[in-house]
Amino acid sequence: MTLVKEAPVRPAKKRSAAPAAGRRGRRRENLAGYLFMSPWIAGFLLLTAGPMIASLYYAFTSYNLFTPPKWVGLDNFTTMFQDPRWQKSVEVTLKYVVVATPLKLLLALGVALLLAQKRRGQALYRAAFYMPSLIGASVSVGFVWRALFSDDAVVDRTQKVFGVDVGGWIGNPDYVLYSLVALSIWQFGAPMVIFLAGLKQVPQELYEAAEMDGAGPLRRFWNITLPMISPVLFFNVLLESIHAFQVFGSAYVVSDTRCGPADATLVYTCYLYQKGFKEAQMGFASAMAWTLVVAVALVTAVLFWSQKKWVHYEEAAK
Amino acid sequence: MGTSRNVERRTILKAAGATAATLGLAATTGCGGDSGTSADGTVTIRYAWWGGEPRTIAIKKAIALFEKKYPKIKIKPEFTDYEAFWEKFQTQASGGNPPDVFQNAVGFLRKYDKRGVLMDLKAQADAGNLNLKNFRNGVLANGQVDGKQIGIPVGANTMALVIDQKAFKKAGVEAKFGWTWNEYFAALQTIQDKSKIAGDTGYFAIMYLYDLYLRQNGKAFFTDSALGFTEADLTQWWEDGYKRVKSGLVADPKKIEQAKPKSGLSAGLAASEFTWDNFSIRYQGEGDSDYGLAPIPTTDGKNTGQYLGSLMLSAFSGTKHPKEVAQFIDFMVHDPEVGKIMGYDRGILATTEQYDAFKPTDPNNKGVAAYEDEVAKAGILGKITPHPSGADVIEAAFLRIGGEVAQGKTKPADAAKALFSEAKAAFAG
């Protein structure tokens, strides 16, 4: 990468009152810049910052949308922590994050390793593997998933061939969450592409040198590939776990808008949605939202802290 | 890339213009809704309902008829399914922008009355824009809360037991008026023994059925402001229910869940299902068997606890066109032509004009009519019990927690406790 150089300073001789004129010019330049940015700034203030601040305020109120919000201090938070359904939603979400994220990344890395090698029809394979990520967020996929994992459907019948009979995953509180995990894993395309880009950056000389020293493929992967792509891996872990914490659409659609049966797919955002839009407890929902923000921030902080131990940047490798 | 130091004034102006345009756009999209009066005096009112496609087609026909008769009033339709309807409505209403006229049900009357959303239609009736006469079987009272008329019934319905007639026949059991719960469950046992299918699809998670059971025992699901039964009552009800799931008398909840959106009955998972009688029309289309309506089991051989529920039309208290809204509602509930178009989709037609105009010819509608006739003749119909604000949330909780019991995920006693605590929050909300 090249360093970004500062724009050359123009000779100030031309004008007599050079510094003042320069300042005025710069001010005009800034003004134009802000003006060009202003639609975005307005949008940010109106549609993002404003609602966020409002939501932070609502988190400390009792608000049913109709009567003005009533200040209740920390009540929402204390009720929330004692609410068994909230606890259940935390449990379900953590389970989902912990199971889905590593599996998805493992698959993404595995496929990226295969696709990194030169072979015929490579572009086709890449497109095919990436495809699910493009349509993954759509509601229709949720319906397809429901159909696949229902009683006596494809998955159920395939299982029975192997002598496993659970009678479909969708209606079974012990299995239904794993159908969501499967849906998440299926959409491994985005991290895969990032891994691919990372793998391309690994210098070939390292492999050649290692081969000369007699290192086998596993050793080469462990000692060269993995450390070299660790920044990319870190990026993917970070992105995918944040993403997993916010899972909503698939849970909502696959379990027929009720996040069940028996609250088995009651992921955090689903409960938040129910509280806010079905039960009109906007204060409680806001408190939940902010708790999620803080929790995700904490997880991110821990990941950043941990990267010192396992992420190798080029400078360190030298 | 190099930047020019001298930014032209024109550039700044352009940027300013673009910004103003964007902000302007944001401002116009900010105020939604286009109810209003146009230059030629034509009034537009918004009408929203929930339901399936057949209902939507029928209602649109009725609207066309209305617009022909009242050329100065235009109706703008909005429709979704039940769940989405109330989520959308809640948001619209809280923003002061609900539809002028909308479909309503008893579980929502007090909730939105308390929030000042519903118009008392008495004044419009007094002004002669809406006729409150000719309602059958006193069903008009369903739309009354604290002396106000906030809903106008379009149809009346009552709970029923829908049965798979082939399965009942094969087992040689008969559903008859005045049968008891014991007889009902014994019949289900016979069906299970002879046909190897479960008897019921999961009766114990249906709030409206439990209400009937309570009414048979001198209680009710709701009082004016609270639950009309005890935790012990509900624990017993759910313990019995779970026992029957375990023994296979009630269908496996896992299978019922996966059959959705099909019902467990039409999917062939069980031989009977409790539901509102006007919903029974769906089964023939969904399933392969013959379906019929059967009486609700009783405790004492007589009282079923039944009453006439109803779908209604309500109006927004803040509508700009109260007169036109009243005229539209009047047309929808009284006009004989509308009765012919709608049939029993929203229950047996509520007014005599419409009831007399529509003569059902297909077996489904005929069956519903015959069933309600029989219920009315038996003289067992009671008055509807109140539904306090929060009833809708409690109904959803009852279904969900009942489902947890069925799945064996929550013990009946804990489940009853959970329902009571959720109900407390719902009443307070």
pLDDT tens-digit series, residues A72-98: 999 999 999 999 999 999 999 999 999
On whether the CB atoms of residues B153 and B310 are closer than 8 A, the answer is: yes
CA dist., res. A318 & res. A207, Å (int): 16
Whether residues A42 and B19 touch (CB distance < 8 A) is answered with yes
Name the H helices within A72-203.
75-82, 84-116, 122-135, 139-148, 154-161, 176-186, 189-200
Nearest chain A residue to B117 by CA: give it. Answer: A66
A4 vs A197, higher pLDDT: A197
A43-56 pLDDT tens trace: 999 999 999 999 99
Cβ contact, residue pair A39, B19, below 8 Å: yes
Strand partners for B77: B47
Q: Is the model's pLDDT at A14 over the cut of 60?
A: no
Q: Does B26 lie at the interface with A, CB-CB under 8 angstroms?
A: yes
Tokens standing for B180? 């008891």
Residue B286: which pLDDT band, with cuts at 50, 70 and 90?
confident
Name the more confident of A296 and A22. Answer: A296
Strands B159-164 and B291-294: antiparallel
Q: How wide is the angle at C-alpha B47 spanned by C-alphas B44 and B52, nearest 5°?
A: 145
Q: What is the pLDDT of residue A312?
A: 86
Are B155 and B309 spatial neighbours (Cβ–Cβ below 8 Å)?
no
pLDDT digits (tens, 9 = 90+) for B349-407: 999 999 999 999 988 888 888 998 888 888 888 988 889 999 999 999 999 999 999 99
More confident residue, B224 or B144: B144
Using one digit for the tens of pLDDT, what is the confidence trace for B88-112? 999 999 999 999 999 999 999 999 9
Mean pLDDT of chain B: 90
- Distance, in Å, from the CA atom of A71 to the CA atom of A114, rounded to the nearest integer, reads 57
What CA–CA distance (Å, rounded) separates B305 from B184?
16
Max Cα-Cα span within chain B: 96
**Partners of B43 in the β-ladder:** B37, B73
Work out the number of other CB atoms within 10 angstroms of the CB of residue B61: 15
Q: What is the mean pLDDT of residues A61-79?
A: 94
Q: Provide the whole-model pTM.
A: 0.87
The pLDDT tens digits for B124-149 are 999 999 999 999 988 999 999 999 99
Residues 6+ apart with CB under 8 A from B329: B101, B121, B130, B152, B313, B315
Return the minimum-mean-pLDDT range out of B217-221, B290-294, B360-364.
B360-364
Handedness of CA B94, B96, B98, B104 (dihedral sign): positive
Share of chain A above pLDDT 90, in %: 62
DSSP A8-37: PPPPS-SSTTHHHHHHHHHHHHHHHHHHHH
pLDDT class of B13 with cuts at 50, 70, 90: low
pLDDT in tens, B318-335: 999 999 999 999 999 999
pLDDT at B297 over 60: yes
**Per-residue confidence (pLDDT) for residue B26, from 0 to 100:** 45
| Residue A77 backbone class (left: φ over 0; alpha: ψ -120 to 50; beta: rest) | alpha
Q: Looking at the predicted structure, is the pLDDT value of residue A40 above 50?
A: yes
Identify the residue with better confidence: B212 or A129.
B212
Could you report how far apart the first and last alpha carbons of chain A are, in Å?
16
The CA distance from A245 to A251, in Å, is 12
Mutation site, B11, B29, B115, B258, interface A, largest A CB count within 10 A: B258
CA A66 to chain centre: 34
Q: Write down the pLDDT at residue B36.
A: 64
pLDDT at B38 over 80: no
Judge: A35–B6 Cβ closer than 8 Å, yes or no.
Answer: no
Contact B163, B220 (CB under 8 A): no
Per-residue pLDDT tens digits for B43-96: 999 999 998 888 999 999 999 999 999 999 999 999 998 888 999 999 999 999
Q: Which of A88-97, A151-160, A172-181 has the lowest mean pLDDT?
A: A151-160
For B:382-421, CB contacts with A below 8 A are: 393, 396, 400, 403-404, 407, 409-410, 418
| pLDDT tier at B213, thresholds 50, 70, 90 | very high
> Quick one: pLDDT at residue A136?
63
> Quick check: A277 contacting B, CB < 8 Å?
yes
Tell me if chain B has a CB within 8 Å of the CB of A298.
no
Q: Specify whether the CB–CB gap between B316 and B117 falls below 8 A.
A: yes
Among A178, A182, A202, A78, smallest CA distance to A132 is for A182
Residue A142's φ and ψ, nearest 5 degrees, are -60, -45
Select the residue of A7, A46, A261 nearest B257 (Cβ to Cβ): A261
pLDDT digits (tens, 9 = 90+) for B160-201: 999 999 999 999 999 998 999 999 999 999 999 998 899 999
Element (H, E) at B9: helix B9-30
Side chain identity at B58, as an amino acid letter?
Answer: A
Alpha carbons within 13 angstroms on the beta-carbon side of residue B323 total 6
Please name the residue of chain A whose CA is at the shortest distance from the CA of residue B414.
A84
Residue A10 has pLDDT above 60, yes or no: no
Confidence band of A117 (pLDDT split at 50, 70, 90):
confident
Interface test with A, best of B114, B254, B411 (most A CBs within 10 A): B254
Respond yes or no on whether the N-terminal peptide bond of residue A203 is cis (omega within 30° of 0).
no
Which pLDDT does position B51 carry in this prediction? 87
Angle at B18 between CA B12 and CA B21, to 5 degrees: 140
Residue among B11, B16, B258 whose CB faces A168 most closely: B258
pLDDT at A163: 87
Average pLDDT over residues A58-81: 95
- Check whether A281 has a pLDDT greater than 60: yes
Question: In chain B, which residue's Cα lies nearest the Cα of A22?
Answer: B5
**Residues A147-174, mean pLDDT to the nearest whole number:** 88
Q: Residue B428: its pLDDT value, please?
A: 86
Q: Do B407 and A167 touch (CB under 8 A)?
A: no
- pLDDT reading at A316 higher than 70: no
Query: Which chain A residues are closer than 8 Å to B11 by Cβ?
Result: 32
Torsion of CA A63, A68, A73, A75, to 10 degrees: -30
Distance CA A86, CA A97 (A): 16
pLDDT at position B108: 95
User: For the residues of A206-261, what is the DSSP string, one character each?
Assistant: HHHHHHHTT--HHHHIIIIIHHHHHHHHHHHHHHHHHHHHT--HHHHHHTTTTT-S
Mean pLDDT along residues B301-326 = 95
